[in-house]
Amino acid sequence: MNLRDLIALVVIAILVSSCSLTYSVLLGIDTTPKWKTDEQIAKQAKKYNIPTEYNLLLDTASFIRELKLIYSEANAVIKISHNDSIQLAKLRKARNDDLQPSQFRLFDQNGVEIFKLVNCYIDPPIPLNWNVNGCFDSFPPKTSMEALDIHMFKLEFLLSHTTNINRQRFTYSGLPNADYYGVIMWNDFYRRPSRRLIKTVHEYMDKTEKSVPMIYINNHNQFLWSVMNFEEKEEVKNSLKD
């Protein structure tokens, strides 16, 4: 894949997100992203002090497919019951948020999501502060933004679409008992937001006495895969075989 094709992928990916092009550029995006091998992801994870046992990879296809199904069913219920255009718009926004590259999510001890924050709400792009409206000033974090108050899946669903760095399935039952579970979705595409998010959450968690295992899900390849055409995907597959 040549540089022009890669840049085209980036532009497409940015335009389909909820962030504007200008906003995304200010976030510090790698304009020449390349497919990452498992070894490269593992090496970068070490730089971010990500523990190996919780360094996971997002499945390149199943997560998006199942997430779309969840929202499609929710849309159908609204249309059948009262066809509320406002609620449908909220669901579309929530679905787009759930597909963003850099995210933090917090789940309670039963794996029920109680908080989420994604890159499009960073306040502001410069200096890239993830403590939006003081959401990290207390524990657990809170947000007053209605758009982020829609939680469509549990931790078990998210983990069912991941593998560890050795390509073994990572399951919810494998987690230790804890007060809460945190999830950071990161990549080398939104490099600066991901790096700042990991730093912010590490500092935040250091201040709580609660037990909160942190799970890190790398979605770099998933994000690129979602905007590739058939020929580009075949090229990636062949390069991995080599």
Task: Write out pLDDT tens, residues 40-67.
Answer: 999 999 999 999 999 999 987 789 889 9
Q: Which residue has the tokens 């524990």?
A: 139
Question: 75 lies in which domain range?
Answer: 3-241
The pairing of beta strand 214-218 with beta strand 180-186? parallel
Residue 7: pLDDT band (50, 70, 90) is very low
Q: In terms of Cα–Cα distance, which of 181, 185, 186 is closest to 205?
A: 181
Q: Evaluate if residue 206 carries a pLDDT over 90.
A: yes
Q: Evaluate if residue 176 carries a pLDDT over 90.
A: yes
Query: What per-residue confidence (pLDDT) applies to 82?
Result: 75
How many domains is the chain partitioned into structurally? 1
Q: Phi first, then psi: what are they for 162, rounded to 5°? A: -125, 160
Count of H-run helices and E-run strands, the chain: 9, 6
Query: With b meaning 16 or more CB within 10 Å and e meaning fewer, what string describes 35-56?
Result: bbebeebbebbeebebeeebbb
Q: Evaluate if residue 12 carries a pLDDT over 50.
A: no
Q: Are 141 and 135 in contact, with CB atoms under 8 Å apart? A: yes
